[in-house]
Amino acid sequence: MRTTLFAVLATTTFLSPVSAAEIDVVSKIDAVTVYPQGAEITRVAEVEIAAGDHTLVLDDLPGDIDAQSIRVEGVSAAAVEIGSVDSKIVNITNGEEFAGRRRQLETEIQALRDKVAAFDQVAQSVEYQRRLIQDFVQRPFVVQKPSDKDMRIDSAELGNLFDLVAGRLQALDKRALDARIATRKVNKQIGDLEKKLNELAPKKTVKAIVTVNLSGKAATSGTFRVKYRIRNAGWRPFYDARLSVPETQALPSLSLVRRAEIVQRTTESWNDVALTLSTARPVGATAAPDLPAFQLSFAQNELWQSKRDNGRLSSDEAASPAAEAKGFLDKLVKEEDVVPAEQRQTEVSIAGFQALYAIAGRVSVDNQGTAKKVRIATETISARLSAHMVPVLDPNAYLTAKFTVNGVTPLLPGRVLLFRDNVYMGEGALPLLAPGEDHALGFGVDDRIKVKRSEVRSQTSETGLISTEVVKENSWVIEVENLHQRTMPVQIFDRMPFATHEDITVKLLPGTPPSERDVEHKRGVLAWSYDLAAGAEKAINFGYRVTSPKGKQVLLGMR
C-alpha cells in the first residue's frame, strides 16, 4: 500500500546544516505545464530510504527557477514525513570539465598532426622514387656487339620499358595527389580544433540545490515529485482558417484548426516529457488596476509658470491637471499577445477558469529557442458569407465569413492563416473570443462581385439675403453586380461628414436610404445591406448637403 507524503515547505536562501544521512538524488523532468508566459516543471526521483532521519539532496536543478515556487510531494510504501524543503543558488565553475575537454582537444590535434607527418613521408618517398626512375631513363643506351645476342634490346622490348616507366610515374603522381588532398583535409580539421581550443575557457554556471529533510520509522522506497516555476518559456496560439464556398446555394463551411507554438530558452531541455498547455496567466497582473481620479480645471498658466521659474512649485502643484492627465493616459497600455502531415490533437479539459490542452504522447522541446508546433483541435463551424465593399477607399469587394465560436474554451488572440478553397489567401488575426461570441474573418478579394463608385454632382452655392450661407452638395452612384451563381449577401459602406459646431449643418440628400447609420458607433459611417441574386445588379444613390456661414473656413478632418 502506498502512502501519500505531505510537504511542509520552508524554502530559504541557504542549506541548513544537518546531522542526518544525506542521500544524493538523481531526478529527471517528467511533466511540463506551459503557460502563455512561464512554465511549471515537474521532476521525478525514485529513492530508497532507510529508517530514521535523512536529507535528500537534489543538485541538478537549474539556477533560473523561482525558488519560492518549489514544492515537494511524493508517495511511499511506508509512512514518511517531510519536515522542510531548503534551497540555495550556487555558482559552479566547470574547471575539471574544462581541463578534460582541453586535454581531449590537444590529443586529437596531436593525432591529426601525426597523420600530416605520415603524409609528408609518403610525399618524400614518392619524390625519391621519381628521381630514381628519371635517372634511369636519362642513362645512354650502349650499342651492343653483334655477338652479344643476350644483351640486345629490340624495339618491342624498348616500348614495353617506356610503358613501364610511364605507368610507374603515373602511379607515383596519384599517390602524391592523394597525399596532398588528405593533408589539406587534415589541416582543416586541425584548424577547426585549434579554434575550439582557443575559444575554450572555464565557464561559470548557476544551479539550484534543493534539500528535503524527512524521517521514516521503517525502511521504504518512495517516489518524489519536485515542482517549480520558470520564466523563460511560453506558448502562443495560431490558427488555420479554411473556407469552402460551393458555387451552388449549398451552405459554406469553415474549418478552424487551433495550433500552438511552444518556445523555451531555459537552462535545461525538456526531453520525453508529458506536455500540457494552460491558458492561465500566472505572470502579470492578478487584479484590476487602481483607477485614479481624472480632474479637469481651468489652467492658471501665468501663476504656474511663475512659480516654476522661481523654484517655488510645491509637489502638489507640480502635479498639474495636464501632467495628471498625461500620466493617466500613459498608464493605458494595451496588452497584445505578440504543415506538415496529419498531426495528433490534444485532450482538452477545463480546470476552473482555465483550459488545459494535454499534448498526446511524450514530446521533447530543446532550450535553444526551437519552436515546437502542435495541433490543439480542429472544428468545423457554420459560416455566414457576405461581400464587404468600401468603394470610397478600395474598388474591390472582399469575401467575409462570420461565425460563432463553438465549444467550451475561448479562442486566444493569435495569427490566422487564411485559405479559401485550399488556396492560401493571406493572414489575419483573432482577438480573444469567448464561446458563443460572433466574429468575422476576411478571405481576400471576391472577383465575382463588381463595384463602382461614380460622382454625379459636386456644387457650391450661396443662399440668404441678410446672413449669407455657403451650401455645398455632393452625390454619387454606387453600382454593384453579382457574377456568382448563387445569391450573395453584400454590404456597401460609405460615409458623410458630421458637424461639431452648431453653425454647420449636414443633411443626407434624397436617394437610397442606408440600412444602418453610424455603423459600430462611428459617426457618419453608413451601410447598405442586400441579398443580391445571381447575376443581379444594384445601384445606390447617395449624397449629402453641407451648410455653413459665409466667410468661415470649414475644415474636414479624419477621426
- Encode pLDDT of 72-92 as tens digits: 888 888 888 888 888 887 776
Structural domain total, the chain: 5
**Helix 95-138, helix 155-199: angle, nearest 10:** 160
> Per the domain annotation, does 554 fall within a domain?
no
CB 279 within 8 A of CB 36: yes
Pair (278, 393) in one structural domain: yes
Q: Which three cell numbers stand for residue 450?
A: 463588381
Assign 191 to helix, strand or coil.
Answer: helix
> Per the domain annotation, does 294 fall within a domain?
no
Pair (320, 342) in one structural domain: no
Spatial separation of the C-alpha atoms in residues 115 and 121, rounded to whole Å: 10
Pair (252, 312) in one structural domain: no
pLDDT of res. 441: 94
Pair (141, 277) in one structural domain: no
**Which helix or strand (DSSP H or E) is residue 177 part of?**
helix 155-199
Which of 445, 473, 507 is at the close of a domain?
445
pLDDT-based confidence at residue 469 (cuts at 50, 70, 90): confident
Pair (32, 59) in one structural domain: yes
Q: Is 546 left (phi over 0), alpha (psi -120 to 50) or beta?
A: beta
pLDDT of res. 350: 58
Which of 386, 418, 445 is at the close of a domain?
445
Pair (321, 241) in one structural domain: no
Q: Over range 325-348, report the average pLDDT.
A: 45
| Structure confidence by residue, pLDDT tens digits, 129-183 | 777 776 766 665 555 555 555 555 555 665 666 667 677 777 877 888 888 888 8
What residues contact 244, with CB distance under 8 A and at least 6 apart? 252, 253, 254, 255, 421
Pair (487, 375) in one structural domain: no
Closest CA to 72 of 206, 210, 218, 208: 210
CA 278 to chain CA mean position, Å: 16
- Amino acid identity at 172: L
The 8-class DSSP code of residue 550 comes to T
Pair (225, 245) in one structural domain: no
Decide if pLDDT at 329 tops 60: no
Among 312-316, 357-361, 485-489, the range scoring the smallest mean pLDDT is 312-316
- Amino acid identity at 300: Q
Pair (368, 501) in one structural domain: no
> Per the domain annotation, does 558 fall within a domain?
no
> Per the domain annotation, does 189 fall within a domain?
yes
pLDDT of res. 30: 93
For 348, phi then psi, to 5°, come to -100, 135
Decide if pLDDT at 465 tops 70: no
> Per the domain annotation, does 291 fall within a domain?
no
Pair (391, 486) in one structural domain: no
* Domain enclosing residue 42, as ranges: 3-94+204-230
pLDDT of res. 331: 41
Decide if pLDDT at 19 tops 70: no
Pair (467, 516) in one structural domain: yes
Pair (60, 109) in one structural domain: no
Q: Please, what is the average pLDDT of the chain?
A: 79
> Per the domain annotation, does 404 fall within a domain?
yes
pLDDT of res. 466: 64
> Per the domain annotation, does 479 fall within a domain?
yes
Which of 178, 199, 220 is at the close of a domain?
199
For 519, phi then psi, to 5°, come to -60, 135
Q: Over range 203-231, report the average pLDDT.
A: 84
The torsion angle over the Cα atoms of residues 445, 448, 449 and 451, rounded to 10 degrees, is 90
> Per the domain annotation, does 192 fall within a domain?
yes
Spatial separation of the C-alpha atoms in residues 471 and 271, rounded to whole Å: 75
Spatial separation of the C-alpha atoms in residues 535 and 313, rounded to whole Å: 74
CB 30 within 8 A of CB 229: no
Task: List the alpha helices (DSSP H) in 93-154.
Answer: 95-138
Among 68-72, 287-291, 303-307, the range scoring the smallest mean pLDDT is 303-307
